[in-house]
Amino acid sequence: MLCLQKENDKAMSLFKTRKKRKRRFSMSPTVITLIFLAFAIIMFVTEKIPLGLTSMIVCVGLVITGVLSVSDAFNGFINSNVILFVAMFIVGGALFETGMANEIGSLVTKFAKTERSLIIAIMVIVGVMSGFLSNTGTAAVLIPVVIGIAAKSGYKRSRLLMPLVFAAAMGGNLSLIGAPGNMIAQSALEPLGLKFGFFEYAIVGLPILIVGILFYATIGFKILPHHDTTDADDSIFDESRDFSNVPKWKKVLSLVILIVTLIGMIFEEQIGVKLCITGCVGAILLMVTGVISEKEALKSIDLKTIFLFGGTLSLAKALEVTGAGELIADKAIGALGENPSPVLFTFVVFILCCIMTNFMSNTATTALMAPICVSIAQGMGADPRAVLMACVIGGSCAYATPIGMPANTMVVGAGNYKFMDYVKCGMPLIVIATVVSMIILPIAFPFYP
């Protein structure tokens, strides 16, 4: 009996030892997520493997390691923005399939005679529109039009599409409804009896948009990508096609449906129909009326964009649910000490949001950072509006990666862009936004009013 007891004790001791070893060498979901984040950054920068494949490796890897469930990891592929992508690829594709995009391009190029003036015109139009509409929706509607302009003018579309999506992001800071993050910050203020005015974001957002447009009209004009897009020659974006056989009614109807789709997006709240559904209705109408065939519609969908965006949403989800994103934020802000300088604190919040928003959605970044910023500001006796404004503007600076915001991802295939194109063209814009914000924020939104 004594011998049996000793054997049991020995077995139990061995079990506990193994359990301790297992616990010691097992990694937490947070650590795994940070490893996948580092892997994604390295692969995106080096492009040793295609961007879409990197996204899918991360997505599947997060499931295999148990960080995310299958439904959470692949939920990005039924995300409303992905549905919007597919729908607007078809709506835009109809504009090309009928040759209407080329005709619009011909009309616009009569007024904008040079490539530089085209870029300015595109950025002004997109920036203003995205101040009152969804910046993603604005970009989705105008991308095919701009590609048509490039086709007719002879300028490379890679030179025009990047300024378009950057202007869409900057324009989102012109009003309270310009971007979802703006409303999230407003919601964080309401319990404190505070709020932002409808155009108050424009105090910082408008100067950034103006300086951004001036930058790409001058110095930035030289660093815009200069890529050929021969990989799209067999697609609907082939500008050398002859559209003389296309019936006039198809051209007109493709434009009418595009305009109606845009109007539906403008009045999203009033009609109670989401952007993605409005886009789907437009795509369905184009096929039902025979403007384009099902085969032509499917050909217009850029699968590279779908895999890239849908796959990387799993990483954003993991950063959120494991607390890895919050850990990064806490460590960065905690390093400032108990009584940080107001200017330094605002700067760190701004830069941290800039970094995070390029790998998470700006909505998720603002949602994560807003409560942290409010609690720290209250602890310091500071005005939460000052910190939240830095948080929102920094969270909109998603210029440096193709996954920073949906509009960036939408033009990857059409512009034949590489990851480093976004870094080279987007980083100067982040510097501009930082400098402008750090000048205006202490004046317009003093830390201790």
Task: Please give the pLDDT value at position 106.
Answer: 66
Please calculate the CA angle 405-124-349 and round it to the nearest 5 degrees: 45
Residue 136, exposed/middle/buried by CB under 10 A (0-12, 13-18, 19+)?
buried
User: How far apart are alpha carbons 146 and 119 in whole angstroms?
Assistant: 10
CA of 330: how far to CAs of 5, 109, 333, 336, 368, in Å? 50, 50, 5, 10, 11
User: How far apart are alpha carbons 102 and 94 in whole angstroms?
Assistant: 12
**DSSP letter string over 121-145?**
HHHHHHHHHHTTS-HHHHHHHHHHH
21: left (phi over 0), alpha (psi -120 to 50) or beta: alpha
Residue 295 makes CB contacts below 8 A (sequence gap 6+) with none
Polymer length of the chain: 449
User: How far apart are alpha carbons 89 and 169 in whole angstroms?
Assistant: 20
Task: Please give the pLDDT value at position 166.
Answer: 94
Which residue has 């830095």 as its token pair?
A: 390
Task: Please give the pLDDT value at position 238.
Answer: 47
The SS3 of residue 306 is helix
- pLDDT tens series, the chain, 449 aa: 545 455 555 555 555 544 444 443 357 898 998 899 888 878 876 768 887 888 889 899 999 999 999 988 888 787 777 787 788 778 877 877 887 876 776 676 667 778 899 999 889 888 887 887 667 767 877 888 888 888 878 888 999 999 999 998 999 898 876 777 787 788 778 778 888 887 899 999 999 999 999 999 999 999 999 887 654 443 444 445 667 788 999 989 988 998 898 788 778 778 888 878 988 999 999 999 999 888 888 887 877 767 877 777 787 788 778 888 777 767 766 777 666 777 888 888 899 899 888 887 677 777 777 777 777 777 777 788 888 999 999 999 999 998 888 888 888 888 889 989 999 999 999 999 999 999 999 999 888 76
Task: Please give the pLDDT value at position 1.
Answer: 53
> Are the C-beta atoms of 319 and 33 separated by less than 8 Å?
yes
User: How far apart are alpha carbons 278 and 377 in whole angstroms?
Assistant: 40
Task: Please give the pLDDT value at position 237.
Answer: 45
* The token pair that represents 351 in the structure block: 């830069």
User: How far apart are alpha carbons 360 and 371 in whole angstroms?
Assistant: 17
Query: What counts of helices (H) and strands (E) characterise the chain?
Result: 23, 0
Task: Please give the pLDDT value at position 356.
Answer: 85
DSSP one-letter code for 400? S
Please calculate the CA angle 361-85-44 and round it to the nearest 5 degrees: 50
Please calculate the CA angle 238-239-243 and round it to the nearest 5 degrees: 100
User: How far apart are alpha carbons 168 and 126 in whole angstroms?
Assistant: 6
**CA end-to-end span of the chain:** 79
Cβ–Cβ contacts within 10 Å for residue 117, how many? Answer: 13
